[in-house]
Amino acid sequence: MNGYSEVPHNGEINNYLRKDLDAKATAKNTACWNLLGKVRTKRTLCFSLYTALELCGVELPRHSTLPQKDFYVTVRSKGTRSSLDNVDYRIWNAKFNSIVFSNGVTCMHPMDAWIQFAQYLNLTELVVLAEALIRRYGYAIEQFTQRLTAFHRVIGRARCEAALKLVKPSDSVQETRTRLALMLFGLPIPQTQYGITDSENGYTYTVDMAYPQYKVAIEYDGDHHRRFRKQYVRDQQKRRRLRQLGWTVIEVFADDLWNTAKQRAFAQEVATAMQIPLPGRPQPSCRVLIDGSLPSMRAKGNTGGGNKQNTTKHHNIDQIRSCDRSSWGGNLPMGRFEEIVKPRN
């Protein structure tokens, strides 16, 4: 999606998306603060799941089994729930960690939110969310594994472990879905952020995904690309030049990923360009995408689970601002969080 080697990869688009997520995070924080004024309890309300992701400026997964609400809150027992309108309460007795904002709004740590989401997302969307967290905070896969290990019992462990085997760095949620759609129907795992060097002018063109052996490149084209004329023109010039160099460039749109039938049609288009038959089922290494042995998702959130003794240290805002890395890995948004609190009991 970027043009040439001297052009920052997706710079304009990524900046736009980051600013949009930050604006939504600020708005959600205000909404949560206003909600706290209606709560008649001295207990801290811990926002979780979609609300936690919004507060932390993370792109959202879709197709969960959760009911559609404006706010999601996790509590440890039924007795701590409230009757607030448009608030969905989830019961989770795991010792999750939480984040406190400077105005007192509290939410589950995003990595623990990912683990909790395993009950409500299919494998594809769990991968999408993991890659969104990596994109936002720079987590390493090993840090997901370490955090998952800290929980002694947690619903969705198998799904989390399967998801981590499929996680790769990506530029957007839709690029993740594009890659997984190809794998779902049996095509090889494409190379991502692949550089193609033009021997005539020395430029290196980076494409979202590629099958170099077949000279097939795949580019996700979202609506936001057209907001930036220079970026759009660079994309089109790049694709035109790649076609001149003998590459087949396939553009994929959101509609191509909307449902299984459209994903199959897209995968078939790629297979045709590669001049190979479409297998129709994932390769053995990716069979978890349709593996019925994975525990089914829960429609309701009365869940159990504990964790091993947690040694997460208490971090204050000065440590965060100095870009110290916590045991979670990655840097929290500077100045946005007041502190990481100790595990909630």
Q: Are 157 and 202 within one domain?
A: no
Checking if the pLDDT of 225 tops 80, the result is: no
Cα distance between residue 173 and residue 19, in whole Å: 16
pLDDT confidence bin for 226, thresholds 50/70/90: low
Q: Are 278 and 306 within one domain?
A: no
Q: What sign results for the dihedral spanned by CA atoms 29, 35, 37, 39?
A: negative
Structural domain contains residue 8? no
Q: Are 18 and 155 within one domain?
A: yes
Q: Are 255 and 207 within one domain?
A: yes
Checking if the pLDDT of 33 tops 60, the result is: yes
Structural domain contains residue 118? yes
As to burial, measured by CB atoms within 10 angstroms (0-12 exposed, 13-18 middle, 19+ buried), residue 213 is exposed
Instruction: Express as a percent the part of the chain with pLDDT over 70.
Output: 77
Structural domain contains residue 257? yes
Structural domain contains residue 114? yes
Q: Are 147 and 177 within one domain?
A: no
Q: Are 85 and 228 within one domain?
A: no
Q: What is the pLDDT of residue 222?
A: 76
In terms of pTM, does the model score above 0.85? no
Task: Average the pLDDT over 280-301 and give the result.
Answer: 73
What is the number of other CB atoms lying within 10 angstroms of the CB of residue 272?
14
pLDDT confidence bin for 253, thresholds 50/70/90: very high
Structural domain contains residue 233? yes
Closest by CA to 161, choosing from 150, 145, 146, is 145
Task: Average the pLDDT over 105-120 and give the result.
Answer: 97
Checking if the pLDDT of 308 tops 90, the result is: no
The answer to whether 156 touches 305, Cβ cutoff 8 Å, is no
Task: Kindly give, in sequence order, each residue whose CB lies less than 8 Å from that of residue 289, ignoring residues fewer than 6 positions away.
Answer: 123, 124, 166, 180, 183, 184, 282
Structural domain contains residue 262? yes
How many domains does the chain divide into? 2
Structural domain contains residue 345? no
Task: Quote the mean pLDDT of the chain.
Answer: 82
Checking if the pLDDT of 8 tops 90, the result is: no
Q: What sign results for the dihedral spanned by CA atoms 85, 88, 89, 94?
A: negative
Q: What is the pLDDT of residue 311?
A: 34
Task: Average the pLDDT over 2-21 and give the result.
Answer: 61
Task: Average the pLDDT over 250-256 and give the result.
Answer: 95
Greater pLDDT, 145 or 318: 145
Q: Are 78 and 109 within one domain?
A: yes
Greater pLDDT, 54 or 306: 54
> Domain containing 251 — which CATH number?
3.40.960.10
Report the chain's terminal Cα–Cα distance, integer Å. Answer: 46
- Where would I find the beta strands (DSSP E) of the chain? 46-47, 71-75, 87-92, 98-101, 106-108, 191-197, 204-211, 216-220, 248-252, 302-303, 315-316, 337-340
Angle at 168 between CA 164 and CA 173, to 5 degrees: 100
Checking if the pLDDT of 321 tops 50, the result is: no
Checking if the pLDDT of 55 tops 50, the result is: yes
Greater pLDDT, 137 or 343: 137
Q: Are 261 and 300 within one domain?
A: no
Q: Are 160 and 277 within one domain?
A: no
Full domain range(s) for residue 22: 14-168+296-340
Q: What is the pLDDT of residue 298?
A: 56
Q: Are 43 and 74 within one domain?
A: yes
Of 271, 289, 307, the one marking the end of a domain is 289
Checking if the pLDDT of 147 tops 50, the result is: yes
Q: What is the pLDDT of residue 239?
A: 95
Q: Are 227 and 322 within one domain?
A: no
Q: Are 194 and 116 within one domain?
A: no
The answer to whether 223 touches 22, Cβ cutoff 8 Å, is no
Highest mean predicted confidence (pLDDT) among 14-23, 79-88, 151-160, 293-302: 151-160
Structural domain contains residue 9? no
Task: Kindly give, in sequence order, each residue whose CB lies less than 8 Å from that of residue 270, ignoring residues fewer than 6 positions away.
Answer: 182, 187, 211, 216, 218, 250
